[in-house]
A and B are shown apart, each in its own frame.
Chain A
Amino acid sequence: MSSGSLGGYIVRRLTQTLPVILGVVIVNFLLLQLAPGDLATVLAGEAGGAPKEYIDELRARFGQDQPVYIQLFYYMRNLLVLDLGFSFRLGAPVLDLLLDRLWPTLLLMVATLIVSLGLGIVMGLLAALWVRTWKDTVISVAAIIVYATPLFWVGLMLILVFSIRLNWFPTSGMEDVVAFHEGWDRVVDIAHHLVLPTVTLSLFYLALYARLMRASMLEQRGLDYVVTARAKGQSERKITTRHVFRNALLPVVTMAGVQTGGLLGGSVVLEAIFAWPGLGQLAFQSLFARDYNLLLGIFFLSAVLVVIVNLIVDVIYVFLDPRIRIG
């Protein structure tokens, strides 16, 4: 497989996803029209009341006095040049708002992916190796309990124990707003704030990956190629690490790719609990404020991210399993 064909593949995949993203935008745009109430009413409501002239004026400013198809047309036209519009509620361009919130989201996402995938795979692997022993039972039961526990409860309990009782970690936020550290201290400070949210979010996914990895390992171990390898006289250790492990990873990686989309939007609760300044909270607030420009921008960004992550997953397949060819 030459790098040229990989590049070509990526370009081809990206072109194929354009209509998908376009569809996502149009469907979302139309769906949002169905929600009752609008931004002007919400703004007036937040203000504790406002004269009708004021509300009408707001509507005209937002372009909401135009028919829906014209609004859609303008939106699509602006999207072509990556102009995601203006959030009238927050008084800032949507793109700026998204980019500000993107990096805390990515930070949390990547940290969670590393921790949950890493630990989940190791736990699943160990459980599979110790299958039907008490150690396997402990791991499996722990995974089920963690998986079944609501995220917000875990988050609050961790705050209660590790920040209020033990005083090890801050309750919330991304950095210390009294000290305002700079340089290297700031990195350490942010990492310190990152621990509890990452652990909370990871626990959930970790359980999922551990169970998946265990099942996948057990399934692979019974397949013909393992018998063949064993017949060749390869050591069990080598069979596990070189063959079974790599093949067992495939479903886990697939699942991780699918979950990334959820990780992006599904951390709304987590962001609220830990006051983490990510995209989830922004989406949540903009929905309730009927700030559609902003919401559509978030949907657009999420769609793009999901497409990219899935592309990366497909590329990883090739390295994990040489039988899979792209093209």
Chain B
Amino acid sequence: MRLFGGFATAVIAIGVGIVGVSLTSAPAAAQKRGGTLVQITQPEPPTLGSYISTANPVGQVAAKIYDGLLEYDFDLKPLPSLAESWVISDEGKTVTFRLRAGVKFHDGRPFTSADVQFSVMEVLKRVHPRGINTFSEVTAVETPDAQTAVFRLNRPAPYMMAALSGYESPMLPKHVFSQGDIRTHQNANNPIGTGPFKFGEWRRGEFVRLDRNADYWKPGLPYLDRIVVRFIGDTGTRAAALERGEAHVAGFGAVPYNDLRTLERLPNIRIETKGYEMLSPVVELMFNTRKAPFDNVKVRQAISFAIDRKFVIDNIWFGFGKPTNGPISSNFAASGLYTAEVMNYTVADGVERANRLLDEAGFPRRADGTRFDIVHDITPYGEEWRRFGEYTQQALARIGIRSTLRYEDVATWLKRIYTDYDFDVSSNHLFNLADPVLGVHRAFHSRFIRPGTVFVNGVRWSTPQTDDLMDRATIEPDAAKRAALYAEVQKIVVEAAPLAWTHEISFATVLDRRFRDVIVSPLGLFSNFDRAWRE
């Protein structure tokens, strides 16, 4: 049994004991019961069925209602939740979860191993956009008794253990969701889970109201009486509502970066950058690597050299970011999967190097000083992306590439990049998620060159060598060996530069100071707020 090498044993050892710790470690003196927390989520979620839609706003609401088998600490190590303890055996091909007894769904029915079996095999593995990958190796979930769920795997899947939170893999009541078609289930928008908050009401265009679950399995929790999730379309109004204390928490760019610095100065507001460790967005420039001139590695490297990462972070993201060269976020440094030992594009003489590379690549400057023209498709996700596009335009002009910016709506842009491949350069950011298998492979593994599938390998670059390394890392149970495989992957792709990774974004959460212990997990707003309380 060596799924995670050294730390797996440790995890299992602390598995049983930790609940006591996590519940009582915080000072018990101050917490108070009661109060309503108003969260701003933008945009309004299309549904509350987090088992079928992984859209960001859905998770921000549904994660308060559904628990998962596990929770995670800030080092992304698993902690017990609905599963009290777990044992990984059979060389990583069997995972046995011991489930907590006495847990009840919001409708009063008990939570048992049958619900785990149903949630994983009938729902997540079939209809969850990411669950289809996460649980692809799971062949069966056996239920020897009501409190035991045994996952049988085809091959080891170390990444699966990182994807069992209530946000990523919610545990659903079988007696509710097994009736009727899961894809159009009427309880999608009337969710019933085991979480600290029960669904109250959803007034479309206005708010979702979540009420305290008095029978929550963590004794004494949650502290809050109610969470109301409000939807406010205008960025200025969102900031105003927070400033006036009408709303108390907002994250994920709901408040634009330029307003964050203003809000930060108010006495009633605090800015928190923790709580995004399990998402780890990395900004990238995508190159259409099957089209000239981007089929030439020197052109791609030149563009990566031309971007002044520090300037971008300081001036466009207002300091909320960290320069990078590669696809894997430094949040994976703790698990060893991140390496800084890759080709470094963050150099002082970047522009000179870029010019030299372009000369070598056979694109000399023409009479007007330019080398060639491109169109840059900007990610349609807000103001900072527009400014990033404008910056890139100027940066590329310095090395003789004349770019035109194109800004389309989300649906049009997605179709252009991931279905028609009708682009030169685009800017984007992909979440690393809980493990590189889930969030990183998709960007440059040949398996993910799939026309019509969005947020995958739109650059259509791959090599048999990197494919093989990633395939081996996927099932490698030994942590050190796995890290070595990823180190090699990072070295190769950063040099080949099918994408130019520029920086990790630090999202920021705006918090009303009256509320405490709101962000206590690497999932931040995607966690259940059971320990949040109001002064």
**Interface residue ranges, A against B (CB under 8 Å):** 35-38, 41-52, 54-56, 61, 89-92, 97, 100-101, 104, 152, 156, 159-160, 163-164, 167, 170-174, 177-178, 180, 271-278, 281-282, 285, 288-290
| B207 → A minimal CB distance (Å) | 5
- 12 additional A-B pairs beyond A91-B184, A101-B205, A152-B234, beta carbons within 8 Å, are A36-B415, A37-B409, A37-B414, A45-B454, A47-B130, A48-B56, A52-B451, A159-B236, A171-B237, A173-B230, A177-B228, A285-B43
- Say whether B87 faces chain A, with CB atoms less than 8 Å apart: no
Which of B205, B412, B452, B453 interacts with A277 by CB under 8 Å?
B205
0 or 1 for each of B405-440: is its CB under 8 Å from A? (1 = yes): 000011110111001000000000001000000000
- Say whether B363 faces chain A, with CB atoms less than 8 Å apart: no
Residue of B nearest to A284 (CB): B233
B47 near A89 (CB under 8 angstroms)? yes
Residue of B nearest to A273 (CB): B234
Given A45-B454, A52-B452: A163 touches B204 (CB 8 Å cut-off): no
Given A49-B456, A177-B228: A275 touches B233 (CB 8 Å cut-off): yes
Given A61-B183, A91-B46, A91-B184: A41 touches B419 (CB 8 Å cut-off): yes
A275 near B414 (CB under 8 angstroms)? no
A170 and B203 alpha carbons, distance in the complex (Å): 19
Residue of A nearest to B420 (CB): A36
Q: Which residues of B contact A51 (CB under 8 A)?
A: 129, 132-133, 450, 453
Q: Which A-B residue pairs are the 3 nearest by beta carbons?
A: A37-B411, A277-B205, A272-B233
| A305 → B minimal CB distance (Å) | 18
B209 near A177 (CB under 8 angstroms)? yes
A273 near B410 (CB under 8 angstroms)? no
Given A55-B453, A160-B240, A275-B206: A177 touches B230 (CB 8 Å cut-off): yes
A61 and B234 alpha carbons, distance in the complex (Å): 33
| A190 → B minimal CB distance (Å) | 11
B46 near A271 (CB under 8 angstroms)? no
A2 and B49 alpha carbons, distance in the complex (Å): 57
Of A46, A159, A276, most buried by chain B (CB within 10 Å of CB) is A46
Residue of A nearest to B231 (CB): A275
B207 near A49 (CB under 8 angstroms)? no
A91 and B191 alpha carbons, distance in the complex (Å): 13
- Identify 5 residue pairs between A and B in the complex whose beta-carbon atoms are under 8 Å apart, listed by A's number: A41-B414, A49-B129, A92-B189, A178-B36, A288-B409
Given A37-B412, A41-B415, A44-B129: A91 touches B49 (CB 8 Å cut-off): yes
A178 near B38 (CB under 8 angstroms)? yes
Q: Which residues of B contact A55 (CB under 8 A)?
A: 452-453
Classify chain B: how many residues form its interface, as a range: 35 or more
A54 near B129 (CB under 8 angstroms)? yes
Count of inter-chain pairs, beta carbons less than 8 A: 179
**Interface residue ranges, B against A (CB under 8 Å):** 36, 38, 43-44, 46-47, 49, 53-56, 127, 129-130, 132-133, 183-184, 188-189, 203-207, 209, 228, 230-234, 236-237, 240-241, 243-244, 246, 409-412, 414-416, 419, 431, 442, 450-456
B46 near A89 (CB under 8 angstroms)? yes
Given A37-B415, A171-B241, A177-B38: A50 touches B230 (CB 8 Å cut-off): no
Which of B55, B129, B246 interacts with A170 by CB under 8 Å?
B246
| B442 → A minimal CB distance (Å) | 6
B38 near A45 (CB under 8 angstroms)? no
Given A36-B412, A278-B205: A44 touches B46 (CB 8 Å cut-off): no
A52 near B453 (CB under 8 angstroms)? yes
Which of B189, B237, B409, B411 interacts with A275 by CB under 8 Å?
B237
Q: Which residues of B contact A172 (CB under 8 A)?
A: 232, 234, 237, 240-241, 246
| B131 → A minimal CB distance (Å) | 10
| B501 → A minimal CB distance (Å) | 18
Q: Which residues of A contact B55 (CB under 8 A)?
A: 43, 46-48
Residue of A nearest to B240 (CB): A171
| B512 → A minimal CB distance (Å) | 12
| A105 → B minimal CB distance (Å) | 10
A45 near B230 (CB under 8 angstroms)? no
